[in-house]
Amino acid sequence: MKDCVFCRILGGEIPATTLYEDDATVAFRDVNPAAPAHALVIPRKHIATLDDATAADAELLGKMMWAARAVAAEMGVAKSGYRLVMNTHAGAGQSVFHIHLHVLGGRGFTWPPG
Ligand code: AMP
């Protein structure tokens, strides 16, 4: 998708600090970190929101979770604790419409989230 910022990162048009990649996913540092450790895991396939995923994407969604685990280890927060977030639709705070898992760590988190 030419207007999608994350597709442009995948295409190398926009630079990013990559932490992990495999056949299905890429993870890079969030440009505006909300925690000392903050990365985004995205699928190589453009899917606008979680609601646009189909049953055929179920394995891909699992691969995003698996990648997040590796990213947490790469950022050094695997044992201290980390939070995974996927904002879905603008009402929940989604601002980039290419699904992504936030991997956040390096500080304490409260519950419920704000
Ligand atoms: P969300 O609001 O859940 O859709 O999250 C989008 C995230 O993408 C935000 O945390 C932004 O800081 C991040 N972001 C936007 N543009 C870039 C970029 N070019 N490189 C890295 N992260 C980005």
Say what percent of the chain tops pLDDT 90. 97
Q: Is the CB of 31 under 6 A from ligand 1?
A: yes
Q: Return phi, psi of residue 74, to 5°.
A: -60, -35
Domain spanning 5-105 has what CATH number?
3.30.428.10
pLDDT of residue 114: 83
Q: Which of 86, 4, 3, 11 is nearest to 41 (CA)?
A: 86
Is 100 catalytic? The answer is: yes
Domain boundaries, given as residue ranges, for the chain: 5-105
Using the mean position of ligand 1's atoms as its centre, give its distance from the Cα of residue 62 in Å: 21
Q: How many residues belong to the chain? A: 114
Q: What is the pLDDT of residue 1?
A: 80
pLDDT tens digits along 1-24: 889 999 999 999 999 999 999 999
Residues facing residue 29 across a β-bridge = 39
Sheet harboring 25-29: ordered strands across?
18-21, 25-29, 37-43, 101-105, 82-85
What pLDDT was estimated at residue 45?
98
Q: What is the pLDDT of residues 59-85, one digit of tens each?
A: 999 999 999 999 999 999 999 999 999
Residue 97 has pLDDT above 90, yes or no: yes
Q: Say if strands 82-85 and 37-43 run parallel, antiparallel, or are unpaired.
A: unpaired
Q: Which of 38, 46, 98, 100 is catalytic?
A: 100
| Section 81-90 average pLDDT | 98
What local confidence, expressed as pLDDT, does residue 2 receive? 82
Mean pLDDT (whole number) for 30-59: 98
